[in-house]
C-alpha cells in the first residue's frame, strides 16, 4: 500500500527551498495544544534539528499534564509563561511552521506577534476552511490528524528510513489522540498502514496509550463521577447530553490542566445518543470553553459556528462563549432546541 504524496512537484521544490534557506525556524501550535498539535510540533522540531536547523517550538499556553512525557517536551516555549523568549524567537526566525490550526486567531494572545513576523510560513493542517495564511499550505480535512499529513510529507521527502523512534512516538500520539484511540475518523486501511510503519520504528504503542489515558489523578476520577451523576442534563427526545463545569467545582476537585480531557465523549456511551456538549469555565480567561462531539450525521461544526463562535470537524468541534457560565448553558439549550429536528 502506498503512502500518499501530499506535495506536488512544485510544492516539494518550494518546501526544499524554504527549509533549505532557513536557519532559525519557529514551529507553532494552537492554544490549548492537544496530542495532535504537540505530536506534530515535537516530531517536526526533531526532524528539522536533525537537518541542522535551530528550532524553537512555541504554543500560546501549556499542554495538558498527560502529554508531559512526550520526547522533546522540555524544548517547547509556552508563550504565557515565557513571553520574552517567544518574542525573541519570532523576531529572529526566517521561517515559521503553523501546525494543526487553520486560522491565526487560534493562537489567541500569540496571534499579533505572528501577524507582525515577516518570516514566510508553511501550514500543515486538517481542519475545514483554512485561511490563506501561509506561502505553502498543506491542508486535508479528510485526514485523521495533522500528524498523519506530516508523516506522509516526511515520507515523501525521503525521511522515513532515518526516522527515529522518538519522532515516530510523537506522530503516533497525535494519531491516537485525535481519533479517540482510533474510535472515530479512522476507518481507513491506509491509516493503519501508517500505524504499522510507525510500529516498525520501535514505538511502544501500548505504553503510549497508558501514558495518555492511564496517567490521571484520583481527583479527576472523582470529578468525572460528579459530573456524570450531578451535573449532566439529558434530553432524550434530542438524544443529547449537556454538562457545565465551573471554576469553583474544578478547585473542589483539585483540577489540573487536562483533567477535563475526554469528558465530553462519556455521554456518547449512552445508547442512542447523538450529541454531547461540554461547557467549562476557563481558569485563565473570562470565557467558557465549549466542546461538541457527535455520532453519525449530526454536524458539530455547524452548531459550533452558529452558536458558539467556533468550528471544527463534522463530529468534533469547539468554541467559546463569554462568562457567566449560566448564560452559556442557556445558549447551549437554545442550540439543542434549534437543532432538534436533526437530532431527533
Average pLDDT estimate for 62-86: 96
Rounded Cα distance, 207 and 92, in Å: 38
| pLDDT > 90: percent of the chain | 95
* pLDDT range class, residue 284, cuts 50, 70, 90: confident
| DSSP state for residue 337 in the 8-state scheme | H
* pLDDT range class, residue 87, cuts 50, 70, 90: very high
pLDDT at 257 over 90: no
**Measured CA distances, 192 to 2, 32, 181 (Å):** 12, 27, 12
pLDDT at 106 over 90: yes
Average pLDDT estimate for 47-53: 98
pLDDT at 160 over 90: yes
* pLDDT at site 296: 92
Rounded Cα distance, 65 and 94, in Å: 31
* pLDDT range class, residue 253, cuts 50, 70, 90: very high
* pLDDT at site 40: 98
* pLDDT range class, residue 258, cuts 50, 70, 90: confident
Query: What structural domains and CATH numbers belong to the chain?
Result: 9-213 (3.90.1640.10), 218-343 (3.10.310.30)
Average pLDDT estimate for 112-137: 96
Average pLDDT estimate for 218-234: 96
- Would you state the cell numbers that stand for residue 268, as one nine-digit string? 456518547
Q: At what angle do helices 165-177 and 146-156 cross, to 10 degrees?
A: 150
Half-sphere exposure of 312 (CA within 13 A, CB side): 22
pLDDT at 104 over 90: yes
* pLDDT at site 283: 86
* pLDDT range class, residue 181, cuts 50, 70, 90: very high
* pLDDT at site 285: 86
| DSSP state for residue 279 in the 8-state scheme | E
Average pLDDT estimate for 121-143: 96
* pLDDT at site 133: 96
* pLDDT range class, residue 166, cuts 50, 70, 90: very high
Q: In whole numbers, what is the pLDDT of the chain averaged over residues?
A: 96
**Which contiguous run of DSSP H or E holds residue 229?**
none
Q: Are 61 and 31 in contact (CB under 8 A)?
A: yes
Rounded Cα distance, 260 and 243, in Å: 12
**Measured CA distances, 61 to 12, 106, 220, 289, 323 (Å):** 32, 11, 21, 15, 20
Amino acid at each position: 500500500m502506498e503512502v500518499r504524496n501530499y506535495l506536488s512537484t512544485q510544492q516539494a521544490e518550494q518546501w526544499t527551498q524554504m527549509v533549505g534557506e532557513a536557519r532559525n525556524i519557529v514551529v507553532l501550535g494552537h492554544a490549548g495544544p492537544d496530542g495532535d498539535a504537540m505530536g506534530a510540533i515535537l516530531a517536526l522540531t526533531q526532524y528539522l534539528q536533525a537537518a541542522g536547523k535551530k528550532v524553537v517550538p512555541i504554543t500560546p499556553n501549556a499542554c495538558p499534564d498527560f502529554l508531559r512525557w512526550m520526547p522533546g517536551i522540555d524544548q517547547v516555549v509556552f508563550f504565557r509563561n515565557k513571553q520574552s523568549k517567544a518574542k525573541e524567537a519570532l523576531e529572529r526566525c526566517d521561517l515559521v511552521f503553523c501546525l494543526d490550526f487553520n486560522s491565526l486567531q487560534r493562537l489567541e494572545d500569540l496571534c499579533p506577534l505572528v501577524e507582525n513576523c515577516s518570516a514566510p510560513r508553511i501550514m500543515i493542517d486538517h481542519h475545514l476552511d483554512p485561511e490563506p495564511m501561509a506561502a505553502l499550505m498543506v491542508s486535508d480535512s479528510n485526514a485523521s490528524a495533522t500528524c498523519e499529513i506530516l508523516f506522509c510529507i516526511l515520507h515523501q521527502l525521503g525521511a522515513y528510513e532515518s526516522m527515529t523512534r522518538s519522532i515516530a512516538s510523537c506522530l503516533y500520539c497525535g494519531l491516537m489522540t485525535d481519533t479517540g484511540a482510533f474510535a472515530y475518523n479512522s476507518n481507513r486501511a491506509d491509516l493503519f498502514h501508517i500505524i504499522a510503519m510507525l510500529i516498525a520504528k520501535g514505538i511502544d504503542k501500548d505504553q503510549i496509550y497508558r501514558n495518555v489515558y492511564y496517567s490521571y489523578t484520583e481527583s479527576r476520577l472523582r470529578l468525572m463521577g460528579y459530573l456524570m451523576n450531578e451535573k449532566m442534563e439529558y434530553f432524550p427526545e434530542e438524544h443529547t447530553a449537556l454538562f457545565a463545569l465551573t471554576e469553583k467545582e474544578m478547585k473542589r476537585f483539585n483540577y489540573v490542566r487536562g483533567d477535563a480531557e475526554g469528558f465530553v465523549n462519556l455521554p456518547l456511551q449512552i445508547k442512542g445518543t447523538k450529541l454531547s456538549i461540554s461547557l467549562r469555565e476557563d481558569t485563565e480567561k473570562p470565557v467558557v470553553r465549549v466542546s461538541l462531539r457527535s455520532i453519525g450525521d449530526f454536524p458539530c461544526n455547524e452548531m459550533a459556528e452558529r452558536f458558539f463562535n467556533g468550528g471544527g470537524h463534522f463530529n468534533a468541534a469547539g468554541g467559546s462563549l463569554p462568562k457567566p457560565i449560566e448564560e452559556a448553558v442557556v445558549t447551549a439549550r437554545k442550540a439543542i432546541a434549534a437543532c432538534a429536528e436533526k437530532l431527533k
